[in-house]
Structure 1
Amino acid sequence: MYGQPPPTQAAASSSRHDVALSISPLPESSSTTAVPPPSQPPPPLSANIRNSSREDFLKFGLPLYKAALEGNWASAGQILHQSPDWIRKPIAKGGERVLHIAAAAKRTHFVKELVKLMSRDDLTLSNDAKNTALCLAATSGVVEIAKVMVDKNDALPIIRGSRDMTPLQMAVLLGRRDMVWYLITVTDDDQLTDVDRIAILTSSINTNLFDVANHLLIKHPELALLRNGKEETALHTLARKPVRSGSYHEQSIWKTLVGLGGKLAQGKVPQQPLELQLVQRIWDEVIKQEEKKISFLIGSPWRLLFIAAKCGALAPSHRLNCVSGAALQMQRELLWFKAVEKVVSSEYAEAENNNHKTPRALFTEKHEGLRIKGEEWMKQTAQSCSVVTTLIATVVFAAAFTLPGGNDSKGAPMFVHRPLFIVFSICNALSLSSSSASLLMFLSILTSRYAEHDFVKSLPLKLMLGLTGMFISIVTMMAAFTATFFITFRQGLYWIPIPIALFAAVPVALFAFQQYPLLLDIYQSTYRSWSLFQPTKPKLFPSYPT
């Protein structure tokens, strides 16, 4: 593993072929003594097998292979009693011995009996890929098999196999948790380099072995800042993984990584505040994660590490675009700032940088362009909607004095006692009042000061109320229009107003289809976003084996 860490989860499928071998027996027609004809290529035999004849292989090797694969110790015991040397000879194409095959096939009893007949040196024999039988046992995940071998030869865990990996690294790569914990206890840690350890750490994160990763970080805190062969830290690897709700071990490794990173960074660069040191190292990756994960961090003792990143710097465009409209983007940025402002100590909240600017001043400066865009977006939206609400208010106001059926000689409506007339009157009044209220909301938006704090709740709330009022006015206006048609054609001509009622529903559906996404975005951004940035209570985590 020196100089090259094991592949990450993205390359796990190709690596599994290296460490979890597909073992197949030697061809029965193979002969080490016969020279193949010039027209045929040599058989794919291991070089170590050529000291056996075809007859010996068919008599001992092939039956031994089948016995190991099936776990038939009675048959294998007889063979090894007749010819003990076959316990060390390759019996498969890849140069695997009988112990390799039994370990890969997870034949626990077979391995136990076989190891009794083997010497310490016999257990160190490797196949053509340089894997010992313990390497294959590590990939199989059967701890009892590995334990039998290690009890016989405690040097096996440090013997490297394919791609210069130790059995521990192979088990981590395939996510064999129980095997990993066992091998950690029997592998001489002094024989591992930092290159090995950071590779094991990043691989354990990739395979969701967060408890293992946390154990490694506690034992070797310096790993928090080391980089693997891809020039990535463990935090880079962790930041790319999706959030798994309720994953205590994953939250624990977040806390450990950030905490250790802060302490180490503070020791290496003491002339800068702790927050500023870590932001430059880790924020580019952490910002890609869901706010739910960041919410947990804000609620933990490590929350101060994320203050500087949001107290001034404008978020990347791909993060801003998660909400629609510049005004809502500005709102999201302000929510971030307020969330970290609540947990930061007063000395950092009022501290000045090298340009003598506080976090609040820096935030205002960096977000001025976004604030202007938000103001323009909000004004354009309010102005367009106010035109519609004004038109609706004008129409329904006129309809209030042009009643269907007219008035009698005393000025009373002709159909005042008819149910449809009552429906018309109520819908017309609701339409007028809701359109007027909506118009007032849009006018309030147009005359707003557009200060920073207005984007948090005041402006989004006004826009949401204005759009809701406009939708109600459209629905009630079309309902009053439809009721008028039913009153007019009440004398057996209902076939005329029925299609009219259906057509009247078209503008209502169009408005809902076009404006509902915006209304939903405003609601979620204004009310549901607060919960994303509220501190959550850290949970206790179980201790890990040492």
Structure 2
Amino acid sequence: MAAGNITSNVIVPQVLAESNYEEWSMCMKNYLIAHDLWDVVEESSNVNTADKVAAGWRKKNAAVLHAFQISCAPVIFAHIKGVNSAKDAWGKLAERYELKQKWQLLRKGRSSEELADIIQWFQGTTPDFQGTIPGASDCIDRCTVINMYMSIFSENGWSAVMELIENHPAAKTARFLRKGFPILNIVVLSGNLTRVEQLIERMSKKELETTTDHEGNTALAIAAILASTKIAGCLIRKNRNLVTIPDNNGMIPVVKASYYRYDEMTMFLYLKTPIESLDPANGGYGSLLLHFCILNKMTDIAWDLLDHYPRLAFTKFKVNNQESTPIMTLSAQPSLFRSGSELSILQRWIYSRIKVGRTAAICRNYDVPIEQDDVPIEQDDVKIQVPRKQHGLSAILQKLPGMKHLYEQKLIHKRAEETLHRISSELSKLNARQLVESGAIPAFFQAVQHGIMEFLGAVVVESCLDLLSSADENSRDMFMHAIEYRVEKFFHNEDFSKNRIFLIAYRDKDNNNVLHMAAKLAPDSFLTRISGPALKMQRELQWFKELETLVPECKEFVNQNGETPQQVFSRDHKQLAKEGEEWMKQTAQSYTVVGALIITIMFAAGFTVPGGNNQDTGLPIFLRKRLFMVFILSDAISLFSACTSVLMFLGILTSRYAEEDFLESLPTKLIIGICTLLISITAMMVAFCAAVSTMLRGQWWVIVLLVLFASIPVIVFLLLQSRLLIEILHSTCGSGIFIRKRFFITKLTISIREKMKKFARKNDVE
């Protein structure tokens, strides 16, 4: 019988919301049974159409729908608003709850992107999956897909997925989710090797090739992204052509693995990929792979690639819509070479004693294990090249903490240098026009800018004279680039002054000489390594003055704008000089306050000696005690040092701050001021300890504690100011930029000069 005028609280305690379906459905069912309405919801197949049309049935159906509608929250009511059948309305509410439960399971371990896709299904903002299976007449609805997707990631639901595939064969290649993931790719993402094997057994080779996601990724590409060699091996055994199928961005699986920096996966796929597919003539896959291998320090693969196809170094590729070449990539990676790596004294000593062998070619005749770690699957694919075993001191050093990293670093440096020589030998075969087209000239100048001296050495060894004598679009040669980018290593040799003829003679298109280049403001990459604007200004002056000493003939030359090098320097460094002045004044003011406080304290302490004075003689009571003499001496040293420090800082504050003052005058005053202030603080702590020890006499445990605590201010001051002090000492009292010491560039410079002379004589003869 139908219900009369009732409210929702008569039927259920609470209206149906997101989280109370079980309680709501139980109360609703009991209510409908009690009022003889449940048969409308539990409609059986033996109820004929005539009965349904009868007035009594329609009345019951309307009563049940009304009960549902008044017992649902507005957000739930929207899902059954247009439903005319009580049975359908009950089913929709039940389905919604079931999907909600599945969502709770799905959200565990899923990414935010995957969850966003599934949310759209629940909200009904994406269409059902009709027509998503190309060429298929059957239809897979949303609920079926959700069930299948959940089953892939569950432990016991895989049989349901296989049953779905048996009933809907086209589902094997269908794309699900808003972003279009095939079922095979989803299974690969789950990382379950057994399920991947079971699924690909039901797929043809052609289906494996054509089954891709919205980005064009095959299942092998997904395996490459996950770095799963076992799944990748399983897929390759089924269809070897998968290794050569690119995605929408033109990346084949081995390139994708190198992009994600997976060394082992990249090596595995490289050895599975036909070397012919990496030929420059067959597209840009090889150059793109070489680019990522260089970028991610996979130098063994890079060397082997160039061993097969040396021209790959000059083959163009596109990344992020920008064209480049692998040689440009190599010239921008100083960390791949010894000259670009910063090592401590101990690390340099150990580095020099580590032995690494020459890089050997990678043999393609042994397979990397896939199914098990110790069982090879095939006999004809992969052979991993292992570095030779170390002996003696080198082997002992490798066992020390942190030394493995040094060994790996030297191995990378060795392979990178061999790779560079392989490229340089190919460069020597190119003429001037080909050097421009290949991008070798900008790469060469980029290497000079980054201070990669091995690059310059390889060019000299291979006699690439056209490259050595080349200039950029601004008519600037390698010397100008080295000066402009402040590459100090370029000038670290005792024989460099013999090459000054190259420095004097050269001009760029704006008629700037080398001294004009030194007068320009250094790049930020150089200045950021130096502390404080004043020290930056000092370093810039050192560059300018030392080069001016080397080529005094260039001092009075004017450029296209009629400016001398000195005028260019003053113009470009005006702001830096102003910042340096402010920094110096602020620093000096801070130190002056500390120095003045110490002067006040130590001056007063000198007249209030520990123990007091003898009233008859006026002499200190502890005059003959050694600790008292320590106190007096320490007090005097602290006072005099503090006075000296304050005077130095006052000298900084009253300086005229001309450009030349930043070279020696201001830094020297700052050094003296900081050092004397450190001495003053140390002496003050000694004086305090001596005074307390004199009064406490035999209380040694108290004295020891006082000494320990008194050392804290000194240590803190040292820790905070040592870096600045060392940097100022090094830049002011060091040996200068064009240091006269032996470096491997010494022989390099001689070689450059000799080869350039031969080159000039050859041109004269011609």
Matched, 1:292 2:498: no
Select which of 291, 299, 302 maps to 1:174.
Answer: 302
CA change 1:234–1:256 in 2 (3 A) is farther
Question: Deviation string for 1:368-416 (max 9, x for gaps)?
Answer: 1111211121122112212211221222122222221223322332212
Select which of 213, 216, 226 maps to 2:436.
Answer: 226
Structural RMSD (CA): 4.9
Question: Deviation string for 1:266-293 (max 9, x for gaps)?
Answer: 9xx8xxxxxx62179984x986685324
2:708 equivalent in structure 1:
502
Distance 1:519 1:350 in 2: 36
Select which of 468, 471, 487 maps to 2:675.
Answer: 468
Distance 1:176 1:218 in 2: 20
Matched, 1:538 2:734: no
Matched, 1:238 2:447: yes
Select which of 369, 375, 378 maps to 2:581.
Answer: 375
Select which of 330, 336, 345 maps to 2:537.
Answer: 330
CA change 1:174–1:355 in 2 (3 A) is closer
Matched, 1:277 2:442: no
In the comparison of the two structures, how many residue pairs are matched?
383
| SS across alignment from 1:318 | helix
CA change 1:342–1:255 in 2 (3 A) is farther
1:327–1:373: 8 Å Cα contact kept in structure 2?
Answer: yes
AA partner of residue 41 (structure 1): S
CA change 1:486–1:338 in 2 (3 A) is same
Distance 1:233 1:494 in 2: 71
1:262–1:278: 8 Å Cα contact kept in structure 2?
Answer: no
| SS across alignment from 2:204 | coil
Q: Looking at both structures, which has the greater relative contact order when contacts are Cα pairs under 8 Å and sequence separation is at least 6? A: 1
Distance 2:599 2:464 in 1: 58
1:361 equivalent in structure 2:
567
1:518 equivalent in structure 2:
724
Larger Rg: 1 or 2?
A: 2
2:525 equivalent in structure 1:
318
Summarize the alignment of residues 390-405 of structure 1 with structure 2, pairs less than 5 Å apart: 390-405=596-611
Deviation at 1:420, TM superposition (A): 0.9
Deviation at 1:214, TM superposition (A): 4.1
Distance 2:519 2:650 in 1: 32
Question: Deviation string for 1:322-381 (max 9, x for gaps)?
Answer: 1111100101111121232233361x3311123221011111111111112111211221
AA partner of residue 292 (structure 1): K
CA change 1:286–1:340 in 2 (3 A) is closer
2:519–2:565: 8 Å Cα contact kept in structure 1?
Answer: yes
Summarize the alignment of residues 401-416 of structure 1 with structure 2, pairs less than 5 Å apart: 401-408=607-614, 409-416=616-623
TM norm structure 2: 0.42
Question: Deviation string for 1:72-101 (max 9, x for gaps)?
Answer: xxxxxxxxxxxxxxxxxxxx9569xxxxxx
Question: Deviation string for 1:185-240 (max 9, x for gaps)?
Answer: xxxx9xx99969x96866886843444444444443516861547x9822255358
Select which of 41, 66, 69 maps to 2:204.
Answer: 41
| SS across alignment from 1:441 | helix
1:324–1:518: 8 Å Cα contact kept in structure 2?
Answer: yes
| SS across alignment from 1:423 | helix
Distance 1:383 1:178 in 2: 60
2:686 equivalent in structure 1:
479
Distance 1:257 1:374 in 2: 45
AA partner of residue 436 (structure 2): L
CA change 1:380–1:128 in 2 (3 A) is closer
CA change 1:335–1:411 in 2 (3 A) is same
AA partner of residue 276 (structure 2): N
TM norm structure 1: 0.57
CA change 1:344–1:214 in 2 (3 A) is farther
Distance 2:444 2:548 in 1: 24
| SS across alignment from 1:539 | helix
Deviation at 1:468, TM superposition (A): 0.6
Deviation at 1:456, TM superposition (A): 1.4
Distance 2:485 2:519 in 1: 18
2:514 equivalent in structure 1:
307
Gap regions ≥5 residues in structure 2: 1-200, 210-238, 243-271, 292-298, 317-323, 334-415, 507-512, 756-766
AA partner of residue 174 (structure 1): A
Distance 1:193 1:178 in 2: 7
AA partner of residue 587 (structure 2): T
Distance 1:240 1:162 in 2: 31
Deviation at 1:479, TM superposition (A): 0.9
2:469–2:477: 8 Å Cα contact kept in structure 1?
Answer: no
Summarize the alignment of residues 404-443 of structure 1 with structure 2, pairs less than 5 Å apart: 404-408=610-614, 409-443=616-650
CA change 1:225–1:307 in 2 (3 A) is farther
| SS across alignment from 1:131 | helix
Select which of 641, 652, 664 maps to 1:445.
Answer: 652
